[in-house]
Structure 1
Amino acid sequence: MKFYLSVLLILSSSVLPFSSYAQSENLFNGKDLTGWYIDIPEMDNDASLKSSFLVREGLLVSMGNPQGHLISNDSYKDYRLEIEYRFAGEPGNCGVLVHASTPRALYGMFPKSIEVQMMHENAGDFWCIVEDIKVPNMEKRRGKKEEWGITEGKKRRILNLTDNSEKPLGEWNSMKIECLDNRVKVWVNGDLVNEGYDCTANKGQIALQAEGAEVEFRKVLLTPITQLSK
């Protein structure tokens, strides 16, 4: 009996570290925009403008205009973000920003961040917004090295690995973004479409864009990644 109890104690102690994994967090509760704030520059001087972000029939909706961002109140580090989205009408542009910090750092609109593109037929591109990231085959995917940059007028776009991972217009797409230390990996509908390293930021807020097209979100789920020391 003593031996049996000893074995149980050893087994239970061996799994204790796994209980330190934090629980997944639904960043969108399906009812309202709790946990987020809206930054739309045009609304600074025109209080009559309606927000681009709303909740409709249990979905988080970016109406596209006026353009701006829905930004998380909290900052995050080392996590997996799972998003399900679709363009509700015409195809267009949108994005998810990770490691967001200084607001309106680019063109008086975009917060300092790395954008993971959601633009129709371009999902998974990186856009550098006053932060930078590297990928393999940089010159092939970003253009001439002397034109690279992270501010206005520079080559900030880094092409993804495939443009055929999205579903037909109107269908739901799944996007998974994994941020771990200074690396960012992106999957679209199960395909690995981009992977960057040496990112100049490794933590920050998360933002969703209003960038001209109506987009519906039904899932915004964040799961912390806990690295166990060996």
Structure 2
Amino acid sequence: MSILLLLVLGFFSFTKSNNAGGPSASDSLQIKSKSLFNGKDLTGWHVDVPQMDNNAKARNPFIVRKGLLVSLGTPEGHLITDAKYQNYRLELEYRFAAKPGNCGALVHVSTPRALYEMFPKSIEVQMMHQNAGDFWCIEEDITVPNMEKRRGPKEKWGVNGDKLRRIPNLTDGSEKPLGQWNSLTIECLDNAVKVWVNNDLVNYGFNATARQGQIALQAEGSEVEFRKVLLTPITKLSK
């Protein structure tokens, strides 16, 4: 069997499996999914928590507990991948362990502490309870349909300070009740970012000012457990 035929058969097999439900990457082929969390320790990640700089007693807010990656919420900071990524799908499964609150997953992460001496340059996909899927622009920007309706007056847009950095999601009610596991899928392909919450498409942006970078999880006030952090590279098919 020729290599070309094998590739074609593989593509149709991939297309069929993805049409069964859930998000799919347009004109792309997914290969070699890998977990970014090994279930034992934080290999492949590093912590950036300002309070830990000069306070030896400050706790690390990112731990592994009973096979789960846990953000304790405080002190605030970020858990950042050592590696950079481009063109991929990131699948997270998370839940607020005790009470609903705030957290986020950041893509296209680069310069640390670029905003408020805390947040790295990035595009944040919000995980705050009842706001999962919002975009927050952190020294990077992204465009969405109906931009002025969703983001507010154009003259107030921005990526830092008191500018309008939030772009609300498209749906309400996609999150599951407190204590249940939610799935958050983020697809970064070229300069576009798509977000699904529990298989609902909740946000889509394009013309992002970054196309690659590290990935980060936040400690931002609330305890959050992660049981899945899966990354699948996307290789675009030639046309």
User: TM range, normalised to the smaller chain?
Assistant: over 0.9
Equivalent pair of 2:126/2:135 in contact (CA under 8 Å): yes
Q: Deviations over 1:146-177 (max 9, x none)?
A: 11100111110000001210000110000100
Equivalent pair of 2:61/2:73 in contact (CA under 8 Å): yes
Q: 1:83 corresponds to which residue?
A: 92
- Following TM superposition, by how much is the alpha carbon of 1:140 offset from its aligned partner in structure 2, in angstroms? 1.3
Q: 2:219 corresponds to which residue?
A: 210
Q: How is 1:1-230 mapped onto 2 (pairs within 5 angstroms)? A: 8=1, 10=2, 12-16=3-7, 22-230=31-239
Report the 3-state secondary structure (helix = DSSP H, G, I; strand = E; otherwise coil) of the residue aligned with 1:83.
strand
Query: For the aligned residues, what is the CA RMSD?
Result: 1.4
> Separation in 1 of the partners of 2:84 and 2:32?
16
> Separation in 2 of the partners of 1:55 and 1:123?
23
Unaligned runs of 5+ in 2: 12-28
Q: Deviations over 1:14-37 (max 9, x none)?
A: 225859964111001111000000
Percent identity of paired positions between Structure 1 and Structure 2: 70
Equivalent pair of 2:103/2:127 in contact (CA under 8 Å): yes
- When normalised by structure 2's length, the TM-score is 0.90
- When normalised by structure 1's length, the TM-score is 0.93
Larger Rg: 1
Question: Which amino acid is 2:137 matched to?
Answer: C
Equivalent pair of 1:123/1:163 in contact (CA under 8 Å): no
Equivalent pair of 1:165/1:191 in contact (CA under 8 Å): yes
Q: 1:3 corresponds to which residue?
A: none
Aligned residues: 221
Report the 3-state secondary structure (helix = DSSP H, G, I; strand = E; otherwise coil) of the residue aligned with 1:140.
helix
- Following TM superposition, by how much is the alpha carbon of 1:229 offset from its aligned partner in structure 2, in angstroms? 1.6
Equivalent pair of 2:109/2:213 in contact (CA under 8 Å): yes
> Separation in 2 of the partners of 1:39 and 1:15?
45
Equivalent pair of 1:87/1:213 in contact (CA under 8 Å): yes
